[in-house]
Amino acid sequence: MAATMGLPGETDYVAANEYLHAAATLRPQQEYAIAWPAWKETGILATSPLVRVAEARRHENTGLSPREGATHFLGELAVEHDGTPGVHYGGSKELSYYLRRVPKRQPPRRFAEALPDDAFTGFLGTCLSREGEHTVWQYVFDLERDSYLEDHLVNGRPTVPATVELEMAAQAAASFVPGSRVHAFSDARFSSFLHEDRGRPGPVCRIAARLVATKGPSAVVDVRITSDFVHANGTTLIHDREHSRVTVHLISGEQPPIPPRPLRRPDTKGVLLDDPYVRSGAAVRLSGVFDVLRDCRGDAHSGSAVLRLKSIPEASVFRGFRTPVISLDALARAAQLIGTSPQDEGVAVPKSISWIGLYTAGNDGDLATAAGAPLTLSSHTTGPGQPSDCAAVTAEGDILLWLKGMEGHRLRASDSA
């Protein structure tokens, strides 16, 4: 599409694309040119700061992932060619641009619609490298597709939840052992926020996974998530900044995990509290799908809440996840209820978690079905400044989710994100 729409700073690239289209017109029965929109996870749009900034201002590219492009390319190979020299692929943005900027020409005879802007096919979008037991993928966050980030704000900026980064790690790890499921995460470290800024291209994340050990159907995989810190003018200030790292423990999909011993339902006689993460002006402000805590209570050493998951549509990205992202996020927040008073404006964000156990299979939709009723979330610590343990417990006392040794730091609205 560069030959039709132009590409700032890339006149030679545009001319080369136009040459391919012109060459195809000479032998339309034997060959034709495919005009792709911008590749949003690789190529010029992902690597050229000038092009990224210019395209963010124009808002005229739907963008196409390599996986989507491969799907359309195979589709082109499967259909009989009709003699059209140029096949244009794009979404509503490209078509709107074409009709608005080229009014004297008819639209292309075949303006094929790319996959919807909000299509989600997993976090392993583009494989950057694969060497033995080490693989690196790239994923570009997009507020149109990843709209749930608007429900998870840190100082007003859409921010990737720590539990979504765990899901990214889960998908990367599971790619080494098809048919496996995530049993646990260990030694999780969260070092910096992964923000999405409105009106700018989304952060380009790299997901690096290394297979550490295998034993029968079980496996251990180390995963690290990084991105480049890029200034608004397109200059890369920090290369490969780490956001998180974690060890993922996989078991056979048929192998049932062994949960901890059942717990007595926690005492809920603590002080009744509002969820500090939904307060207006909170440094971490949650809404929508993340607003699931009810009957929040806390005292000096413990906290509790009721988890009431909202209806998750079948088309939601959360239905395609391997882990219960929303429930784990809520469980981590239960630790904030310990010693919390309504006047305390600060909220905690996780810094490290020693062990995250998943004793039920699947995502939030699967968890809601397995539980059959709202879960009680409980948290406990031995004293101020000490790590917290949190558990999601059924009415019968069975533990479905468990966080052990969680440490965090307090973030206030005035703090830098």
Mean pLDDT by 10 residues, the chain (417 residues): 67 83 82 79 64 55 69 64 72 63 53 49 80 89 88 94 97 89 95 86 88 87 90 71 96 69 59 86 91 89 88 79 95 83 67 94 83 86 86 88 92 61
Go through the domains of the chain in sequence order and give each one's CATH number: 2-113 (no CATH), 126-144+159-252 (3.10.129.10), 271-411 (3.10.129.120)
Burial 12-28 (b: 16+ CB within 10 A, else e): eebeebeeebeebeeee
Q: Which amino acid is at 14?
A: V
Determine the Cα–Cα distance for residues 255 and 280; give it in Å rounded to an integer: 44
Strands (E), 141-267: 152-154, 157-158, 180-190, 204-215, 218-230, 236-252
pLDDT at 15: 87
Determine the Cα–Cα distance for residues 356 and 333; give it in Å rounded to an integer: 14
pLDDT at 233: 66
Q: Which amino acid is at 226?
A: T
Determine the Cα–Cα distance for residues 106 and 277; give it in Å rounded to an integer: 52
Closest CA to 349 of 277, 279, 296, 294: 277
pLDDT at 26: 85
pLDDT at 109: 45
pLDDT at 75: 62
CB of 325 closer than 8 Å to CB of 167: yes
pLDDT at 117: 44
The torsion angles phi and psi of 39, rounded to 5 degrees, stand at: -80, 115
323 token code pair: 């882990």
43-70 confidence digits (pLDDT tens) = 666 666 655 555 555 555 666 777 667 7
pLDDT at 118: 45
Closest CA to 342 of 275, 390, 394: 275
